[in-house]
Amino acid sequence: MIELSENVIKGQSRAVARAISWIENDHEMKESLIDQIYPYCGKAVVWGITGPPGSGKSSLVDHLIFRMRAVGKKVAVIAVDPSSPFSGGAILGDRIRMQKHATDEGVFIRSMASRGHLGGVSGATSDAIKVLDAAGYDLILIETIGVGQTEIEVMELSDVVLLVLVPGLGDEIQALKAGVMEIGDVFVVNKSDRDDADKVRAEVKYILEFKEQNGNYIENPVVMTSAKLNEGIDQLLKDTENYLHNINLKGQLEARRKLRILNEINRIISGKIEEELKTFITQKEKLDNWIEKIYQKKCSPYSFVNENFKTFLKEYKKP
């Protein structure tokens, strides 16, 4: 076994940090590492936390960390920031947050940027979850900014998704909400001290009524919180754990986790094919001529691919 795998399994936070760097950099031993720690996974629970910028997700996460530490649970936070492909992550102010918990070995905080990962940021996050799980973190919080497609993929890695909404973010945000209601399991109306918080709560409840309901339907909690005033956090914990308990009883948690495995298989295969493809396509000496032809409108991109698609697979099979 690789030494790093052993140290991850022992729960050494420095090893965990290094393993996640391996994942981010697509280290050549990455897959061996995951293969070796994988049997030690399965104990952690993963909560996704998403919502528009300014909704107070970070403060909520902070409160959750303190509550969990108070009952002796180890907590890890992964802040995923797909909007920051250039800055290399770390824009969520997690340096500041790190300092708050710096002396606490039971807390691990890390931010991940989005570009350059085989399988995208969701692939990297998925592997990071395995590392944290194997290292003995009881609760893994995945935090995303915003509500785009990438964020939705990341949220699909969670056992339960907390969607944080907030009053007064303008019409576009209101419209957004309708689109992302389906990824939320637990709805958090934060900044409940504001006048119009009740209106947001009513809106959420109204939209939830239209959610497709079947025999296995479990009601989605809607919780009012104020991260600022430290209010509603215990209720949020209680409702979320209750929700998890219920979907576990009905077999939905297992189904969700199995679907995640299927998605992961697809993601890994696609990633591998894309890698091969890149090599193939950059090696093709005539590619520049083709691009010139397509640029001149003498050939369409689809015709080019349809003529060359099978060649790729044949070429690939050779070695």
**Range 166-195, binding a copy of itself (CB under 8 A):** 169-173, 175-176, 178-182
**Greatest pairwise CA separation for the chain in angstroms:** 68
For the record, the structure tokens of 244 come out as 């998890």
Among 24, 62, 81, 143, binds a copy of itself (CB under 8 A): 81
10 binds a copy of itself, rule: CB under 8 A: no
215 binds a copy of itself, rule: CB under 8 A: no
9 binds a copy of itself, rule: CB under 8 A: no
86 binds a copy of itself, rule: CB under 8 A: yes
Whether the CB-CB separation of 85 and 70 falls below 8 Å is answered with no
Among 84, 125, 190, 192, binds a copy of itself (CB under 8 A): 84
Q: Which range of residues in 7-15, 188-196, 229-237, 304-312 is near a copy of itself by CB under 8 A?
A: 304-312
147 binds a copy of itself, rule: CB under 8 A: yes
Task: Please report which residue ranges of the chain form alpha helices under DSSP H.
Answer: 3-9, 13-24, 30-37, 57-70, 94-100, 120-134, 149-155, 171-180, 197-208, 233-249, 252-283, 287-295, 301-317
Neighbours of 54 (CB within 10 A): 13
For the record, the structure tokens of 256 come out as 């969700």
Residues 94-123 that bind a copy of itself (CB under 8 A): 114-115, 120-121
Least distance in angstroms from the C-beta of 81 to a copy of itself? 8
What is the rounded CA–CA span in Å between residue 177 and residue 200?
Answer: 10
Of residues 202, 194, 205, 207, the one with CA closest to residue 167: 194
Whether the CB-CB separation of 125 and 111 falls below 8 Å is answered with no
Q: Which range of residues in 99-107, 142-150, 224-232, 234-242 is near a copy of itself by CB under 8 A?
A: 142-150
Q: Which is nearer to a copy of itself, 229 or 273 (CB)?
A: 273
210 binds a copy of itself, rule: CB under 8 A: no
Among 7, 246, 248, 270, binds a copy of itself (CB under 8 A): 270
Among 217, 241, 269, 279, binds a copy of itself (CB under 8 A): 269
Q: How many residues bind a copy of itself (CB under 8 A)?
A: 83
At residue 177's C-alpha, the angle toward residues 260 and 54, to 5°, is 95
Q: Which is nearer to a copy of itself, 16 or 34 (CB)?
A: 34
Least distance in angstroms from the C-beta of 103 to a copy of itself? 25
Per-residue H/E/C for 56-111: CHHHHHHHHHHHHHHCCCCEEEEEECCCCCCCCCCCCCHHHHHHHCCCCCCEEEEE
Least distance in angstroms from the C-beta of 71 to a copy of itself? 26
Q: Which range of residues in 10-18, 139-147, 197-205, 217-225 is near a copy of itself by CB under 8 A?
A: 139-147
Q: Which residues contact 55 (CB under 8 A, 6 or more apart)?
A: 164, 165, 166, 169, 190, 191
Residues 34-53 that bind a copy of itself (CB under 8 A): 34-35, 38-42, 52-53
261 binds a copy of itself, rule: CB under 8 A: yes
Of residues 162, 139, 158, 11, the one with CA closest to residue 75: 139
302 binds a copy of itself, rule: CB under 8 A: yes
Q: Which range of residues in 68-76, 89-97, 98-106, 227-235 is near a copy of itself by CB under 8 A?
A: 89-97
